[in-house]
Amino acid sequence: STTLKAAASPRYFGAALGAGHLSNVSDPKFAEFGAAQFSGATPENEMKWDFTEPEQGVFTFDQANQVAAFAKANNQILRGHNLVWFSQLPDWVETLQGNDLLNAMNNHITTVMTQFKGQIFAWDVVNEPMADDGTLGPSPFLTQLGSGYIQTALTTARKADNTTFLYINDFNTEGVNAKSDGLLSIVQSLKALNLIDGIGFESHFIVGELPTDIQTNLQRFADAGVDVAITELDVRMTVPPSAADLEQQTKDYATVINACKAVSRCRGITTWGITDLYSWVPGTFPNMGAALLFDDSYNEKASFTSTINALLS
């Protein structure tokens, strides 16, 4: 039977891979499936600021390197996730003001990108900057540095590594709405300065509640001159799942695959994990789960089959 990566080619089909799961000797299937099914990898947490610079100027790359080594050994494109985000910041970052935060941000971007130079297909330089209404969302970077922080971060990133694609990544921007309108206008100004190469659409969906205009929305970003990618796909539902929800999930995955395939600049699709067993969903939404393509025992779900079929169609 075919694999996600074979069916998706020439696009990549990736997964978020946690270093702890990859090295878990009591669950060798995680690494087996990670290698067999996927042509892309995103460290689920290991390249975030709290992991890579837990104390100011003290950089730790062990766990990020584990994921990078796995990706390399398995010929996977590696997405760098992420450099500037309001979440998963070490406490020391939150205390900095003005130029101190500016210098820390630039140093963080430069040091991390230099460390992984040559290994990263695309970097989520700025993660989740938007608010629902299309303005910039709350962040210490916005408060301390003003709305120019995005352009500053991307300028620093371009200087640090001009061989990788620079992305902004966000959620609830998959359809046409106020949030994606706001993001698009930022993208248009950044594109004019050659500071942006792609936009990541996380795509954390609820079963049966996908926007109906994903393709239209991806295309309008592509028309602004940037690549697009589905970066954190999952489709959650109430658990234990009903047969109806699992059936709807097959359609929802196919909808996303078809939207990406219809847009030539859609470079690839990443699911946010491999197995429902380790998905972030139940930890955040206690009565929800079953969001991925493999169940708790790594059985292929009906959504796996519909994804393969959509990729091949």
What is the closest distance, in whole angstroms, from the C-beta atom of residue 10 to ligand G3I in the complex?
26
32 tagged catalytic = no
Give residue for tokens 């600021």.
Answer: 49
What would the x/- binding string for ligand G3I be over residues 265 to 284, using CB under 6 A? ---------------x----
Judged by CB under 6 A, does residue 202 bind ligand G3I? yes
* Contact flag: residue 234 with ligand G3I (CB under 6 A): no
Gap between the Cα atoms of 202 and 197, Å rounded: 16
Q: Which is nearer to ligand G3I, 43 or 155 (CB)?
A: 43
Phi, then psi, of 246 in degrees rounded to 5: -65, -35
The C-alpha angle with vertex 55 and arms to 53 and 60, in degrees rounded to 5, equals 40
Which residue's CB is nearer to ligand G3I, number 201 or number 280? Answer: 280
Nearest distance in Å: CB 128, ligand G3I: 6
At a CB cut-off of 8 Å and minimum separation 6, what does 41 contact?
A: 14, 15, 16, 17, 34, 67, 70, 71, 74, 76, 77, 78, 79
**43 or 241: CB nearest ligand G3I:** 43
8-state DSSP, 282: H
Q: Does 232 bind ligand G3I (CB under 6 A)?
A: yes
To ligand G3I, the closest distance from the beta carbon of 233 in angstroms equals: 11
The C-alpha atoms of residue 168 and residue 135 are separated, in whole angstroms, by 15
- Ranges within 47-106 binding ligand G3I (CB under 6 A): 87-88
Number of other residues whose CB lies within 10 A of the CB of residue 75: 9
Of the listed 44, 46, 174, 232, which one is catalytic? 232
Q: What is the set of active-site residues? A: 232
User: Residues in the site for ligand G3I, rule: CB under 6 A?
Assistant: 44-45, 87-88, 202, 232, 280
